[in-house]
Amino acid sequence: MISFRFKHVCLESFGLNFPTTQLTSTEIEERLAPAYQRLRIPFGTLERVSGVTTRGMWPPTVTPSSVATVAAREALDLSGFRPDQIGALFNCSVSRDYFEPATACLVHHNLGIPEESLVLDITNACIGFSDGLIMLAHLIEAGTVKAGILCSGETISKVVHATFDQLLGDQEITREKMLQMLPTLTLGCGAVAVVMCHDSISTTGHRFVGGVARSASQHHQLCIGNGDFSFHQGNEITPIMTSDAAQLMIAAAKLGGRAFPDVTALLGWSKDHIDHVFCHQVGRQVNEAFYREMGLDYEKEFSIYKRYGNMVSAALPAALAIGAKEKNIQPGEKVLLTAFGSGLNTRFLGFEW
């Protein structure tokens, strides 16, 4: 178990950017009707199992850097900081514009942040943003930078369309294989950004207290995406993701069960101290399994996957940004973020508002 504590790190502002075009689970199943009928999969399975009703879709021509820039610019404007006050910018998405350069470089250029800054990509499946929070917090705590931006623009339309094509075009696909591909169809597009800073220049006082990390890599084959989800990869690579959802859910819940006592011991919190929980926004089954394992009050959870789908690395920070307003989180309340990502990795992070 890896743990970390911070005394001087604050969440200062959020930025969000979502598609206007929505794709419902019903529309997806209507499109897949021939495959559903051939394999005798009941209509309604996708929404019933995942809990996802709808998700946003950008056109396949939309780049990750362009949507991340919109979210990052909003977060920067709301923070009140100038671009020349930003010492680091990390892009944390699975989706990327190119193999290289880093997508962060494009966002950095778009925002007009000066040369004297640290700019790079952090990619780690769905927990890339959580890792970005940890890395930027260490830089701020150490005094290396006073303020920084994290962003993630997930444009997953290509992988969704590729999944449609394979499920409808390959008459040899088995029922088991189709069920392994269905989790891909819970994905949604979206972008989010966060500005973090040293408490000496913070106006919000939303403190990042600390957290823990665990990596159960024996489960690395439970969810695999082939190729690379970069926008400019051309047609040579067809991105496809497959998941053993049942085993992944079990392994994630057990891993979370080991991480939860770690984080409560580190932060000095009991489950009763925690006011709000933002669980990994992948779907209903994983969330419910986690709460059963932890024994946490389900009423403390805030989720957005029903209306936004699984926005990969943007999902959890977007839930926090939306939930902070919709739940009206009050000063002094304790917030726990529980992130899971293929690999299998988990990050449990604690905040005091």
User: At 291, is the pLDDT very low, low, confident or very high (cuts 50, 70, 90)?
Assistant: confident
Cβ atoms < 10 Å from Cβ of 333: 15
Supply the pTM of this predicted model. Answer: 0.94
Look at the chain and report how many structural domains it folds into.
1
Ramachandran region, residue 72 (left: φ > 0; alpha: ψ -120 to 50; beta: rest): alpha
Active site residue: 27, 30, 100, 326, which one? 100
Which positions ≥6 away from 102 have C-beta within 8 Å?
A: 91, 96, 119, 120, 121
Q: Give me the domain span that covers residue 257.
A: 1-353
Q: What is the pLDDT of residue 309?
A: 94
The arithmetic mean of pLDDT across residues 181-209, rounded, is: 96
The arithmetic mean of pLDDT across residues 306-313, rounded, is: 95
Alpha helix ranges (H) inside 209-283: 245-267
CATH number at residue 320: 3.40.47.10
Instruction: State the Cα–Cα distance between residues 215 and 291, nearest whole angstrom.
Output: 20
Active site residue: 126, 151, 197, 223, which one? 126
Mean pLDDT is lowest, of 83-92, 145-154, 274-283, for 274-283
100 noted as active-site residue: yes
Inform me whether the pLDDT recorded for 234 exceeds 60. no
The arithmetic mean of pLDDT across residues 126-144, rounded, is: 97
Mean pLDDT is lowest, of 143-157, 227-241, 263-277, for 227-241
